[in-house]
């Protein structure tokens, strides 16, 4: 049986390791945070992801999943090593590979036999080749009689659906120049081959670029529809119907054509900037990706402006209380990295507003990471508490539980009747328009579905 080590226990590494353990492989996940490892060993996940707790419990119960803080132990005890550590963006937009370098150096130091090293983290084009060169040199310096094969195997997990995406991926992309690595990954992913999941085997650089290209294209699509939404509000059009009409064209598809406050999360903002950095380093300015990133920043500013223009007196929101529902960048995750809520709330605070917030899963992370809001933003225990005595309600993230909150009661509890639906979750709901002064994104008129229009 192939023994698997996973370096890193974030959203990618933890889910990937738990799923492989569920397939029966002996999997050891490693992290430098000993406290985190202790909690994981007791089945306590540090992140919220639907289905993950059950996978962790099953793997621990079956004995196929274990955790350690020792890089040496997991490297020496594994045949395949997945690198799944963070590659956050630096200030200039380039990817910070410090954690990757730490792992690779440890592999070069502790490897005790042939290994397959798989780059699961999102890494700039050329990183896998550099890792292969480094490991070759490290083994030669030790006169090691074996080799380490390297593959790039980018992840395509959607947060909130990461477990299901890992169990049944849309595709598997593997970049390698080693037949041994290819065969090893075919063994690891045998379940996906049986499921007839599409596989693409290519070289290192292509696999790395597929990930950046995919996320950047989706970011372009989101920014495009958001810019159309701003224009639609000014010309009297309805972005919901515009997107529906566009989506009927199979060449376009309706996916990622939902107007909103801008994209966020751990992938799109970071990966677009990293791809732009790769372009700059290679003498190619990527105008389309650059415009998408700029449009996303504009969208967040315009959402804060939209709220302020409706509420402000003389440009100030002093004396106004704004209730924000949702802090995570999307529903079914606690991830607040690059979430639009951060910039929009800051825009409201800078205008003098008092801000209350409630999020089903994001508040714990917000309190931990957004410490500059300590004593400024009031975190609430429920949607009802958040809305009470507020002048305006802002739906920032479209959590399913927000759909039916007893809106009559919430409307009565508020001081003002403004409702800013930044996800258009209630664009076709007449009860909300009866209870509130309703502000969707991309329309100033009641929204009708295509079927109703017909």
Q: List pLDDT tens digits, range 14-69.
A: 999 999 999 999 999 999 999 999 999 999 999 999 999 999 999 999 999 999 99
Confidence class for position 266, pLDDT limits 50, 70, 90: confident
Residue 239 pLDDT class (50, 70, 90 cuts): very high
Helix (H) or strand (E) holding 313: none
Tokens of residue 439, six digits: 């502000």
Q: Which of 151-160, 200-209, 352-361 has the lowest mean pLDDT?
A: 151-160
In this predicted model, what pLDDT tens digit does every residue of 98-145 receive, in sequence order? 999 999 999 999 999 999 999 999 999 999 999 999 999 999 999 999
Structure tokens at 97: 């590979």
- Of 52-66, 176-190, 307-321, least confident by mean pLDDT is 307-321
| pLDDT recorded at residue 380 | 98
| Statement: residue 265 has pLDDT above 70 | yes
Beta bridge partners of 115: 148
Place of tokens 């957004």: 370
What's the predicted TM-score (pTM) here? 0.91
- 267 classed as catalytic: yes
Q: What is the mean pLDDT of the chain?
A: 94
- Residue 392: what are its φ and ψ, rounded to 5°? -150, 150
- CATH code of 4-202, in short, is 3.40.50.720
Residue 453 has pLDDT above 90, yes or no: no
- The answer to whether residue 449 scores a pLDDT higher than 90 is no
**Cα–Cα distance, 362 to 107 (Å, whole number):** 35
pLDDT over 70, % of the chain: 98
Please determine, for residue 446, whether its predicted confidence score (pLDDT) is greater than 90.
no
Residue among 261, 423, 397, 264 at smallest CA distance from 332: 397
Alpha-carbon distance of 402 to 422, in angstroms, equals 13
Give Cα 14 distance to the centre of its chain: 15
Long-range contact set of residues 374-380: C-beta below 8 Å, sequence gap at least 24:
376/349, 377/345, 377/349, 378/354, 380/323, 380/356
| Residue 451 in this model has a pLDDT that exceeds 80 | no
The angle subtended at Cα 240 by Cα 309 and Cα 213, nearest 5°, is: 95
Tokens 């419990």 locate to 57
Token pair belonging to 1: 């049986």
Closest to 80 in 3D by CA, of 107, 29, 115: 115
Q: Which residues, 6+ apart, have CB-to-CB distance to 250 below 8 Å? A: none
Interhelix angle 268-281/204-235, rounded to 10 degrees, is 120
Q: Does domain 213-453 have CATH number 3.20.20.140?
A: no
Please report which confidence band the pLDDT of residue 314 belongs to, taking 50, 70 and 90 as the band edges: confident
Tokens found for residue 387:
């809305």
Q: Pick the catalytic residue: 29, 267, 380, 386?
A: 267
Residue 452's pLDDT is: 43
Residue 390 CA to residue 413 CA, distance in Å, equals 8
Query: What are the residue ranges of CATH 3.40.50.720 in the chain?
Result: 4-202, 213-453
Confidence check: pLDDT of 308 > 60: yes
Place 251 in a pLDDT band, splitting at 50, 70 and 90.
very high
Q: Per-residue confidence at 448, pLDDT binned at 50, 70, 90? A: very low
């Amino acid at each position: 049986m192939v023994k698997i080590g996973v370096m890193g226990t974030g959203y990618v590494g933890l889910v990937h390791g738990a799923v492989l353990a569920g397939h029966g492989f002996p999997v050891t996940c490693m992290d430098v945070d000993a406290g985190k490892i202790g909690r994981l060993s007791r089945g306590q996940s540090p992140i919220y992801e639907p289905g993950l707790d059950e996978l962790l419990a099953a793997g621990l119960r079956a004995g196929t999943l274990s955790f350690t803080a020792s890089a040496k132990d997991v490297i020496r005890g594994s045949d395949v090593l997945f690198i799944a550590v963070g590659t956050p963006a630096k200030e200039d937009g380039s990817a910070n590979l410090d954690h990757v370098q730490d792992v690779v150096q440890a592999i070069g130091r502790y490897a005790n036999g042939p290994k397959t090293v798989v780059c699961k983290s999102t890494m700039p084009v050329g990183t896998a080749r550099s890792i292969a060169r480094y490991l070759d040199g490290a083994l030669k310096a030790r006169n090691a009689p074996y080799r380490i094969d390297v593959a790039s195997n980018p992840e395509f997990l959607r947060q909130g659906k990461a477990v299901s995406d890992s169990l049944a991926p849309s595709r598997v992309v593997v970049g390698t120049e080693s037949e041994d690595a290819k065969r090893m990954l075919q063994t690891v992913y045998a379940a996906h081959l049986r499921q007839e999941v599409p596989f693409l085997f290519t070289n290192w650089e292509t696999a790395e670029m597929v990930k950046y290209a995919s996320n950047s294209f989706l970011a372009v699509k989101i920014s495009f529809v958001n810019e159309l939404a701003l224009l639609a509000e000014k010309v009297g059009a309805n972005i919901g119907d515009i997107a529906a009409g566009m989506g009927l064209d199979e060449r376009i598809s309706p996916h990622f054509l939902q107007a909103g406050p801008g994209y966020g999360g751990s992938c799109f903002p970071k990966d677009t900037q990293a791809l732009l950095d790769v372009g700059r380093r290679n003498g190619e300015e990527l105008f389309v990706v650059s415009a998408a990133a700029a449009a996303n920043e504009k969208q967040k500013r315009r959402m804060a402006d939209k709220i302020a223009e409706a509420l402000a007196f003389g440009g100030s929101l002093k004396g106004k209380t704004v209730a924000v529902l949702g802090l995570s960048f999307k529903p079914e995750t606690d991830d607040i990295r690059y979430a639009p809520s951060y910039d929009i709330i800051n825009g409201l605070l800078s205008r003098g507003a008092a801000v209350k917030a409630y999020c089903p899963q994001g508040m714990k992370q917000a309190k931990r990471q957004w410490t500059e809001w300590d004593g400024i933003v009031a975190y609430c225990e429920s949607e009802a508490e958040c809305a009470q005595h507020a002048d305006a309600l802002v739906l920032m993230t479209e959590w399913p539980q927000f759909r039916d909150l007893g809106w009559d009661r919430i409307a009565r509890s508020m001081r003002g009747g403004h409702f800013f639906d930044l996800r258009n979750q209630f664009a076709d709901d007449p009860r909300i328009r009866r209870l509130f002064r309703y502000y969707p994104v991309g329309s100033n008129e009641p929204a009708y579905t295509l079927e109703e229009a017909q």
